[in-house]
Structure 1
């Protein structure tokens, strides 16, 4: 056995280096034959490596000289024999797995690659390697089972790549175990191997991956749907071994994600790829199961990825750089999923989505001894659930025809969301603006925060367009704007909170703009377009922020909003935004906008406390899919497409230029400023259109201050514009920022015009 092991070890080292093998392929197959019985492996025989100079018939086994080791059967104990046999099997599996990896690698020399391919084909033909691997997968030894599963997945992918018919034993094994859910380890083994094969297909750089996956899914398409129905119809309370159904559920969610990803990126159309969208309630029901928190967390994140079309993005980085064509059927399916989510919320199941339990920790759910567990909600689940609801609303509203229905549904669902969030955001001060919920929930996850902000902005813009199209009365529009504050989706409040969280630092905005890891560019452009049309409303909100901060004597960054008021309470809601027809307060109220335009609005003194800048984190890599909408209304389509391609191409070169960009951006404060020196006059527009009141007292004799919210935002835009100009001149900006600069220039012009009229 020692000599046998040494031969395999030498073969492993050669294959690992990608070296060309000189001997006949059949000789290597002999040592890789998994059909050797354990008894043959434990006889402790010395096997001499065959003469490599002699040419053997390809149909004959290599000549071996067997010499019995005297006294071997006496010296070796039975457990040592079993251990040696296991080590030998593990080494055989490792060599086969590495050999197939070398076949698929583009770095392997062509002659060595052909030799490895020839050995693998002979191995598949000369022995029942698939059946033997299936038996080993079911072995009680976990290490041997895992290596057998890896080796089987590699061989299956090799067969698909070489257009070799999959073995009937493997197909029967899968169909038998996935035809109906059972609490067996074989189900988990099948799912793991299927996932491994599909991942290998995704990672393959070849252009035939679509055809390869099509061949694979054709065999198992119906099997996957049957298993979906069987698994999600289980009753968790009746399971004898909950751990097995949890493992099966976690693995099947991974498989579903890969199936949906293949639909998006490889443009395949199988029923198993649509089964989630056809029967989404089956998956959503799991959120009501008395199951561990990490399962619900994974499920909610999976639904979030589906709604955002971000499934499988870690495997499809090359694919996301290609502008995919619209898929109407996929849009219909995603709408069905969004409707199912909202139907679940409408039925009151949101209250059953418990976010309590063990909080996720780095490296697991356990904390170090002596540190103690930190009580509190699961913020990962909280973020995912909030974004799922916001994205579902955005998707559903894109298919609405009645603005009144949109208003009613939006108010109902946002109220449910805020009630859901209220007890989970601590501490909770009964002050200020419900719109702060978004920055509070997503402060630790940039990509989700911007996706939620973009969804909220999209809903707001759609309702605005409907109001403009129907010519609604000013009073009705004013009432609707008030509702945007009460229900936490006013875009100006959300944007101001975002800027406050980053300390009004233009370099952080620049970092977001030059990175493809969030949808900030798309969101920022949409907001700047809105800001041009809604400048007066924006200023009025800035005024309220300053008034609240000045009156409360604290920085709004440190304030925590009252998310929503209990409808059963008879007390007056303490948050600042109230209806126009509400009773007169005992204290002074500051109007959101004066109905009398003859008296100009004045800036309120801002608190002198320092704004704390929060750390800027990065999120999962993703190129924006909607940059075709980046240009402003009068920009050419060609320029827009160039920007889209450039922002995707910049990902690889971003790290090389980041240091230069940061150095240049950091120097922006040393440059000459454009003309923002409004000490001599208020930073206010001439007119306003909103009509709301704030329940905060305001000190008389209000004066203008450069440290006000409005001034700091405008100055931040100025610094950002200056930094982009400098980077563009040095060819360091990763895409053409012409349209973005045009929008910032228009904002500057609006500001100059509004101040010049005073």
Structure 2
């Protein structure tokens, strides 16, 4: 036994360093054969028996003592032998796993890599190591079982990379256990190993990913569908082993995401890739008595599917910009959206519990000594909210009846707001429920802007047939304003709450425009186009905000400093920012847009450095950007989500290429800048003279120094910052079309 361990230890050190195997390569097959541990165990048993029998001991009787207990003595020797055999097995598996990683590593020297490859192929052919690893998966020793699964996943990936035939014992093993039982431990191992192999394929951009993944998934296409039906089509109480069911759910949900990601990124087409879209049985588990983190994982997977972000953490690079439209995927997304909305109609969010526990590693159980954090699981709240709004957007893009869309909007948004209201403290005010979006997504920029963009798209669909030129404050339009408030989808309210969250800081908007981490560019362009067409509506909303504050007796020059102080003293700055919309609100305020208002004479702006890229290749020509002013592009984007995604992806790729090597404002810098000390209060005279206080606008509304001028000032500062960067060739893409829209808004302001 000692000789075997010494040889394995020497081999491990060589492989760990990537050194060449100086001795006969074939000779190491004997020492890496898993059967060796059994043979060595038998040899050790005889050696231990000969060495210990008849030797007196201070801890027990000798073999010549008449009081010796043969059963106890044999048991002690057996435990010793088993322990040594286990160590040999673990050492064998460790050497094999490291050797496979060296074979696949580009840093390994060619000679050593060839020797490792020869040794691995010898283990597969003569020792049948794949069959023995499969057998070890059933070991009751969890460490041995896990190491066997890890080695088997590396071995399968090696076969795919080497273009070898996939292990037949493995295919048979998976097909058998995935088809027979969805709660067995063997099924969990199969799912885990497949997931690991697919992840390795996605990570390796130098291999033929599509061909490798096709070879891996082809034998299991029907098997996955059988397993899916078995797992999700029965009630949780019918399972005999709930703990294994939870493990199967976690592994299979991750596998579902990878299958869908391969459909988008690698253009593969398998029936199993459409299971989640066409057979929404998985939604039923949200009502099962299972841990909350499993439900959270399902909601997040659905969110990624609807947003087209499957596998975003694994796939190196974006979706191909010139990929052909996938009309089949469009239909599948619509089917998933309809299924989700149908489940919401039946009370899906009523059954979803959002416990007030923090998200913990490996589950939601709070460990001893940890203090539970108050408040709901905001990850689940954000995901549930976003998939509801996104499903409505997808459905409305395929709906032609405005009356039907209005009924659906009121029905589903009321259920969503009812679901959110108990978890938002303080609760939403009745006079303006559009604040829900900023309150829910305040800690997640990308999800917040996705939700805002989806809400804006819904609004554009609802108003598609209206005459934009005649949108004045008529009685019909006032009723429409009330309708959008009640359902929390007024685009102007949502944009103003967004500006309030960033304290009207134009540099934050500039950071969003430069960064490729969010869809802000696409959202902002669509909103600016709407703003020019819907100008009277925007003025009414600004007046409505100021009226709500005046009715509550709010005074901005008293409330704003306390807000900044709260932000500097609190560790949760986004929560403090979220409160700006409701802290001065009053539930008794009338929602009439023509309510009286009091001039807002003073405002507070945060002290913030204008952080922009400081250098860049002067000879680089600014990249082109589509002409967002074109009404034809607007209509096409509104009815074709994939064209919008294509434009967003293209612009992100352009920004990513253009900003390489240039510093930019990070989220951490933005949060630190938000927490800076405030500037002195701006007097009334310092407001830009875009609109005189008390001036009467053409439609009869009174333009006052308040939210309107703060918004205009922010957009004006943003326009100037973009122009300065464009002059110095520091903006990552050509902003001519964006500046054209901002100038159009400014021209509207000058006419007020």
CA shift in 2, pair 1:315/1:558, >3 Å: closer
Match of 1:590 among 589, 595, 610: 595
Residue segments in structure 2 that go unaligned for 5+ positions in a row: 56-75, 561-577, 609-622, 634-645, 680-685
Aligned to 1:54: none
Query: Pairwise mapping of residues 625-644 of structure 1 onto structure 2 (< 5 A)?
Result: 631-634=627-630, 643-644=651-652
Report deviation, 1:316: 0.9
In the alignment, is residue 725 of structure 1 matched against residue 739 of structure 2?
A: no
Structure 1 residue 440 corresponds to structure 2 residue 439: yes
Provide the C-alpha distance between the structure 1 equivalents of 2:369 and 2:24, rounded to a whole number of angstroms. 62
Q: CA deviation at 1:721?
A: 2.4
Contact 1:431/1:576 (CA < 8 Å) preserved in 2?
A: no
* 2:611 equivalent in structure 1: none
Return the offset for 1:478. Answer: 4.2
Structure 2 vs 1, CA of residues 522 and 374 (structure 1 numbering), >3 Å: closer, same or farther? same
Match of 2:693? 682
Matched, 1:648 2:656: yes
Q: Cα deviations across residues 622-659 of structure 1 (Å, max 9, x unaligned)?
A: xxxxx998641359999999745312325754657869
2:423 aligned partner? 424
Deviation at residue 156 of structure 1 after TM alignment: 1.0
Query: How do 1:530-545 residues align onto structure 2 when only pairs under 5 Å count?
Result: 530-545=530-545
Q: Specify whether residues 657 and 112 from structure 1 end up closer, same or farther in structure 2 by C-alpha distance, changes over 3 A only.
A: farther
Q: Are 1:306 and 2:302 an aligned pair?
A: no
Tell me the distance in 1 between the aligned counterparts of 2:42 and 2:480. Answer: 81
The Cα shift of 1:254 comes to 0.8
8 A contact 1:357–1:378 mirrored in 2: yes
Greater shift, 389-398 or 5-14, is seen at: 5-14
Q: For residue 21 of structure 2, what is the aligned residue in structure 1? A: 21
2:600 aligned partner: 606
Preserved CA contact (<8 Å) 1:543 1:604: no
Partner of 1:204: 204
Aligned counterparts of 2:125 and 2:8: Cα–Cα separation in 1: 20
Conservation of the 8 A alpha-carbon contact between 2:506 and 2:715: yes
Quick one: distance in 1 between partners of 2:103 and 2:271? 32
Q: Secondary structure at the match of 1:428?
A: coil
1:558 to 567, 579, 589: 579
TM superposition shift of 1:475: 5.0
Q: TM-score, normalised by structure 1?
A: 0.80
Aligned equivalents of 1:136 and 1:444: distance in 2? 45
Question: How far does residue 245 in structure 1 lie from its aligned partner after superposition?
Answer: 0.9
Please, which moves more after superposition, 603-612 or 406-415? 603-612
The change in CA–CA distance for 1:133 and 1:294 in structure 2 (over 3 A counts) is same
**Residue in 2 that maps onto 1:400:** 399
- In the aligned structure 1, how far is the partner of 2:242 from the partner of 2:462? 47
Residue 586 (structure 1) aligns with: none
| CA deviation vs aligned residue, 1:79-130 (integer Å, no higher than 9, x gap) | 3432232222222212222222222222223232222222211111111111
User: What is the 5 A alignment of 1:323-722?
Assistant: 323-356=322-355, 358-361=357-360, 365-367=364-366, 372-428=371-427, 430=429, 432-468=431-467, 475-554=475-554, 558=579, 574=588, 576-578=590-592, 590=595, 604-606=598-600, 631-634=627-630, 643-650=651-658, 653=661, 677-678=688-689, 681-682=692-693, 686-688=697-699, 704-705=704-705, 708-722=706-720
Give the whole-Å Cα distance in 1 for the aligned partners of 2:409 and 2:537.
Answer: 21
Relative to structure 2, which stretch is displaced further, 214-223 or 728-737? Answer: 728-737
1:741 aligned residue: 739
Q: Which residue of 2 aligns with 1:247?
A: 247
Q: Is the 8 A contact 1:12 1:95 kept in 2?
A: yes
Change (3 A) 1:633 1:559: closer
CA change 1:426–1:676 in 2 (3 A) is closer
C-alpha spacing 1:642/1:247, structure 2 compared with 1 (3 Å) = closer
Does the Cα contact within 8 Å between 2:292 and 2:354 map onto a contact in 1?
yes
- Post-superposition Cα deviations, 1:576-611, rounded to whole Å, max 9, x if no partner, equal 425x9xxxxxxxx617xxxxxxxxxxx842275757
Note closer, same or farther for the CA distance 1:733–1:471 as it changes in structure 2 (3 Å cut): closer
Q: Secondary structure at the match of 1:317?
A: coil
| Matches of 1:321 and 1:149, distance apart in 2 | 34
Q: CA deviation at 1:171?
A: 1.4
Paired residues for 1:271-286 under 5 Å: 271-280=271-280, 282-286=281-285
Query: What does the per-residue CA deviation read over 1:183-226, in whole Å, with 9 as the maximum and x for residues that have no partner?
Result: 32111111111111111111122341101111111111010000
Conserved 8 A contact 2:542-2:708: yes
Structure 1, 108-117 or 404-413: larger mean CA deviation: 108-117
Equivalent-residue separation in structure 2 for 1:573 and 1:41 (angstroms):
78
Aligned to 2:571: none
Q: How does 1:61-210 map to 2 (within 5 A)?
A: 77-210=77-210
Q: How far did 1:498 drift?
A: 0.8
Q: How many aligned positions are there? A: 672
**Alpha-carbon contact 2:15-2:99 (below 8 Å) kept:** yes
Q: Displacement, 1:139?
A: 0.9
**Secondary structure of residue in 2 paired with 1:134:** helix
| Pair 1:315–1:512, CA change in 2 (3 A) | same
- The alpha-carbon deviation at position 501 of structure 1 amounts to 0.9
Q: CA deviation at 1:30?
A: 2.5
Alignment deviations for residues 669-689 of structure 1 (CA, whole Å, 9 cap, x no partner): 9xxxxx972288238783349
TM-superposed deviation, 1:17: 2.6
Aligned to 2:568: none
Aligned to 2:541, the other structure's residue is in SS state helix
Three-state SS of the structure 2 residue aligned to 1:388 is helix
**Distance in 1 separating the partners of 2:651 and 2:428:** 44
Kept after mapping to 2: 8 A contact 1:501/1:613: no
Whole-Å separation in 2 of the counterparts to 1:728 and 1:88: 66
How far 1:160 moved relative to its partner? 1.9
Separation in 1, partners of 2:737, 2:165: 54
Which consecutive unaligned segments of at least 5 residues does structure 1 have?
A: 46-66, 563-571, 581-588, 592-602, 615-626, 670-674, 691-701
Within 2, Cα distance between the matches of 1:22 and 1:489? 71
Deviation, 1:241, is 2.7
SS in 2 for 1:722: helix
CA contact (8 A) 1:383 1:441 kept: yes
Contact 2:210 2:266 in 1 (8 A): yes
Residues 643 and 680 (structure 1), Cα distance of their counterparts in 2 relative to 1, 3 Å cut: closer
- When residues 483 and 538 of structure 1 are mapped into structure 2, their CA distance, relative to the original with a 3 A threshold, is same
**Segment of structure 1 superposing worse, 395-404 or 4-13:** 4-13
Higher relative contact order, structure no. (Cα contacts within 8 Å, ≥ 6 residues apart): 1
Residue 314 of structure 2 corresponds to residue 315 of structure 1: yes
TM-score (norm: length of structure 2): 0.81
- Cα deviation digits, residues 22-65 of structure 1 (max 9, x gap): 333202323222232423256359xxxxxxxxxxxxxxxxxxxx
* Deviation for aligned residue 1:291: 2.3
Does the 8 Å contact 1:387/1:448 carry over to 2?
yes
1:699 matched to which residue of 2? none
Query: Once the 2 structures are TM-superposed, how far is the Cα of residue 546 of structure 1 from its aligned partner?
Result: 1.9
The alignment yields a C-alpha RMSD, in angstroms, of 3.8
- State whether residues 428 and 560 of structure 1, in contact with CA within 8 Å, keep that contact through their aligned partners in structure 2: no
Q: Is the 8 A contact 1:679 1:704 kept in 2?
A: no
Q: Structure 1, residues 521-541: CA drift from partner, whole Å, max 9, x if none?
A: 211111112112222321221
